[in-house]
Homo-oligomer: A and B are copies of this chain.
Amino acid sequence: MAAEGAEISVKTGNNHVGNGNGNGDPLIVFMPSGRRGRFPRGTPVLQAARQLGVDIDSVCGGRAICGRCQVVVSEGEFAKLGVTSKGDHLSDFSAVEQRYADKRSMKPGRRLSCQAVLLGDLVIDVPEDSQVHKQVVRKRAEMRAIEIDPVVKLHYVEVAEPDMHDPTGDLQRLEKALKEQWGLTDLDTDLRVIQGLQSALRTGKWTVTVAVHLGKQITAVWPGFKDQVFGLAVDVGSTTIAGHLCELSSGEVVASSGLMNPQIRFGEDLMSRVSYVMMNPGGDAEMTKAVRDAINDLAAAVAKEAGCTVQDILEVTFVGNPIMHHLLLGINPIELGGAPFALASDGPTMFWASEIDLKIHPNARIYVLPCIAGHVGADTAGVILSEAPHEADEMTLVVDVGTNAEIVLGNKERLLAASSPTGPAFEGAQISCGQRAAPGAIERIRINRETLEPRFKVIGCDLWSDHPDFAKQTEATGVTGVCGSGIIECIAEMYLAGILTQDGVIDGSMAAKSPRIQPAERTFSYLLHDGTPQLRIFQNDVRAIQLAKAALYAGARLLMDHLNIDKVDRITLAGAFGSHIDVKYAMVLGMIPDCDLAKVSSAGNAAGTGARIALLNAAARDEITRVVKQVEKVETAVEPKFQAHFVEAMAIPHKTAPYPHLAKAVALPAPKVVMPRDDDGSGGGRRRRRRG
């Protein structure tokens, strides 16, 4: 094989590789790799590419069936390459190509490289979509693209018919064909493939398409030519199960779906599900069945959406927190309910779909990403795979906010991970007017610094609440509550407007400025929306958010201590919550340490993206297994400094840590101290100490 680059000199003695016998043969140069060689006139372009190690896709092995090997002739002079390339240096568009184009359509100028043969010097462009290792570009520019190299690949083969004079098994003749036509050797074969092999070979008139898993195992055989198989990447969250169905050769997401995790009926949060198991023998099996049933529903839904069948799904990858991981795998999660929080296994797990009762292709394989520690699961491994802090030069903080916050901090030198017990406040639970993100929930809030009047937006309507059409457009949904991102903005805006002190006390003296500040019980409240229901922020709501954000900050700070650093270069907020939040408000609140706001971003469902990467790129599995082993696990519960950091972090944004980047970007109010109405002289500290 030739090396990469346009002006290579090949280390084979002379300057070119190929079958050609010297300079009389045409020179072919493939772009963008720049690989080049001389081959006899009449050599198919695909054959030349194969010998030069040029990355051109093919399922049918050069039989003009799959159309994956399309190329384009670059016309013109290429002085630098020493070639004059012209269309007539390639054989005419053939009847075989025309037949393919008629049947499947082909862009103008495209040629099937398995059919077009070399007649003179040529420069050939291999379009991205004809490469095996194409890249799937991701939405955010800073993210590395996913290189497609799926664990399941299709190979079309022609198999020799049996011969009584030289008796061999059908499987052995298939193996011989795979070796001769695709260079695949030492393959194992699933029993179910052997069971269906003879029928497939005869139905396909001795041609079949073979699915090979990780280059080692024959997992499916279909008669004749088959173009596509699919993989499913699933994020099993405590609340939501989300799946993406991908066509495995292109990496394209062809269908996505999400559904509620039916385990919710056994308990809203993780610990209540573990409690359910403790109280109800066999409860783990019930929850295992529930989640597997849901995944079967999900698989059926995405297959329907994509117009394929569940039998076309040959691979599934999973991420999930440790308890979801264990319940999915049929492992009793009871050990995760108490110290020392021992996982059954922290390694990656690979097995058959049937072993967890998934009703997809009977030989489909499941890959579950490794867990990191008892509180830091395969979902965090997925986040790492997606966000790749282990490849960063910059000191990178990745926070995945759910009921717990998983925190990863480091760069290519070291990587640390911990979990902080934020509780469900960020999800709208424990907040008097909180609710899940759903139409009608307030998600954006601004408070006028002078009048203290709020305006807001609700999910399902693009207008702000002070727009004249707002009431009409939200007639159907109403204004029903405040979701997680709305709470963050509301508390931060209350602070920025001076309604809250840095200690998180609602300043009753502001009642003089606005009737929205009202006494409530022994403290004050802020009236956010005077509708049905009436939405108020009480002192206890502020406290709940302070506790949650302090836990999150303290976890991050603890990892910074371990790395002996005082600031981070980049922050990524992952998870459904992280994708809806305005990162500026997260910083105003002091959920995260100070950082250049231009380098704080939301990653969306990074855990799910990690599952998708593990689905589409075989090497990513080795990568994440290696990285997870190297991650330094920090257990917040046994670190004495965590409590101290927690107490310090109760203030908005923080009692002692400076926020220079934030101060530059946002007008922070001057400090003031207000005693809460129920104060006994020790300020908010009493409440904090009690909890500590």
Q: Which residues of B have CB within 8 Å of A171?
A: 344-347
Q: Is A477's beta carbon under 8 Å from chain B?
A: no
Contacts of A598 in B (CB 8 A): none
- Quick check: is A163 within 8 A (CB to CB) of the other chain? yes
- For residue A119, give the distance in angstroms from its CB to the closest CB of chain B: 43
Nearest CB in chain B: distance from A173 CB, A? 9
Q: What CA separation (Å) do A133 and B659 show in the bound complex?
A: 71
Contact partners of A638 in chain B: CB under 8 A: 164-165
Q: Is A445 an interface residue (CB 8 A)?
A: no
A331 an interface residue at 8 Å Cβ cutoff?
yes
Interface flags, A588-624, vs B, CB<8A=1, else 0: 0000000000000000000000000000000000000
A353 to chain B, nearest CB (A): 11
Binds B, one of A188-196, A434-442, A665-673: A188-196
Given contacts A329-B191, A347-B171, contact A342 B198 (CB under 8 A): yes
A251 at the interface (CB under 8 A from B): no
Is there contact, CB below 8 Å, between B635 and A169?
no
Q: Are A345 and B169 in contact (CB under 8 A)?
A: yes
CA distance A162 to B339 in the complex (A): 9
Specify which chain B residues have a CB less than 8 angstroms from the CB of A198 in the assembled complex.
331-332, 335, 342, 344
Q: Of B332, B345, B633, B637, which one neighbours A172 at CB under 8 angstroms?
A: B345
**What's the Cα separation between A344 and B191 when bound, in Å?**
11
Q: Does A469 contact B (CB under 8 A)?
A: no
A351 within 8 A of B: yes
A112 to B441, CA, bound (A): 74
Does A281 have its Cβ within 8 Å of any Cβ on chain B?
no
* Interchain CA distance A668-B539 in the complex, whole Å: 117
Least Cβ distance of A579 to chain B in Å? 29
Question: Would you list which residues of chain A between 310 and 363 have a CB under 8 Å from chain B?
Answer: 329-332, 335, 339-347, 349, 351, 355-356
CB contacts (< 8 Å) of A676 on chain B: these are none
Task: Specify which of B167, B189, B343 is in contact with A345 (CB 8 Å cutoff).
Answer: B189
Which residues from 157 to 203 on chain A have a C-beta closer than 8 Å to any C-beta of chain B?
161-172, 189-192, 194-195, 197-199
Shortest beta-carbon distance from A193 to chain B in Å:
10
A373 located at the interface, meaning its Cβ lies under 8 Å from any Cβ of chain B in the complex: yes
Q: How far, in angstroms, from A404 to B343 measured CA to CA in the complex?
A: 57
Task: Say yes or no: A167 contacts B344, CB within 8 Å.
Answer: no
- Contact in complex: B340, A163 (CB < 8 Å): yes
A169 contacts which chain B residues (CB < 8 A)? 342-347, 371
Residues of B within 8 A of A343 (CB): 167-170
Identify the closest chain B residue to A199 (Cβ): B332
Contacts A329-B194, A346-B172: A340 and B164 contacting too (C-beta < 8 A)?
A: yes
User: Is A34 an interface residue, CB under 8 A from the partner?
Assistant: no
Considering only residues 474-517 of chain A, those with a C-beta below 8 Å from chain B are: none
In the complex, the answer to whether B349 meets A194 with C-beta atoms within 8 Å is yes
Q: Is the pair B191, A355 in contact by a Cβ cutoff of 8 Å?
A: yes
A194: chain B residues within 8 A (beta carbon): 329, 331, 344-345, 349
Instruction: Judge whether A428 is part of the interface by a CB distance below 8 angstroms.
Output: no
| Contact (Cβ within 8 A) A197 B635 | no
- Bound CA–CA A163/B373 (angstroms): 11
A374 CB within 8 Å of chain B: yes
Chain A, 129-170, CB within 8 A of any chain B CB: 161-170
Give the distance to chain B from A217, nearest Cβ to Cβ, in Å: 12
Residues of the B chain whose Cβ atoms lie less than 8 Å from the Cβ of A349: 191, 194
Contacts of A346 in B (CB 8 A): 167-169, 171-172
Given contacts A169-B343, A169-B345, A171-B344, contact A330 B164 (CB under 8 A): no
A524 to B482, CA, bound (A): 107
Q: List chain B residues, Cβ under 8 A from A192.
A: 355
The 0/1 profile, CB within 8 Å of B marked 1, for residues 193-218 of chain A is: 01101110000000000000000000
B635 to A170, Cβ gap below 8 A?
no
Assess the A164–B341 pair: CB atoms within 8 A: yes
In the assembled complex, which residues on chain B have CB atoms less than 8 Å from the CB atom of A197? Answer: 344-345
Q: Of B168, B172, B635, which is within 8 A of A165 by CB? A: B635
A195:B342 contact, CB within 8 angstroms: no
**Min distance, Cβ A150 to any Cβ of chain B, angstroms:** 22
Q: How far is the CA of A637 from the CA of B167 in the complex (A)?
A: 13
B331 touching A167 by the CB < 8 A rule?
no
Q: Of residues A169, A172, A197, A329, which shows the largest number of chain B Cβ atoms within 10 Å of its Cβ?
A: A169
**CB–CB B167/A374 < 8 A:** yes
CB distance from A252 to the nearest CB of B (A): 30
Which chain B residues border A161 with CB–CB below 8 Å? 340
- What are 17 of the A-B contact pairs (CB < 8 Å)? A162-B340, A162-B342, A164-B339, A165-B638, A167-B342, A168-B343, A169-B346, A169-B347, A170-B335, A171-B347, A191-B330, A191-B355, A194-B329, A194-B331, A194-B344, A195-B330, A198-B344
Given known contacts A171-B347, A195-B329, what 20 new A-B pairs fall within 8 Å (CB)?
A161-B340, A162-B340, A167-B340, A167-B342, A167-B346, A167-B374, A169-B344, A169-B347, A170-B335, A170-B344, A170-B345, A171-B345, A172-B347, A192-B355, A194-B349, A195-B332, A195-B344, A197-B344, A198-B335, A199-B332
10 closest A-B pairs by beta carbon, nearest first, are A162-B342, A169-B346, A171-B345, A167-B373, A164-B340, A169-B343, A169-B345, A162-B340, A191-B351, A195-B330
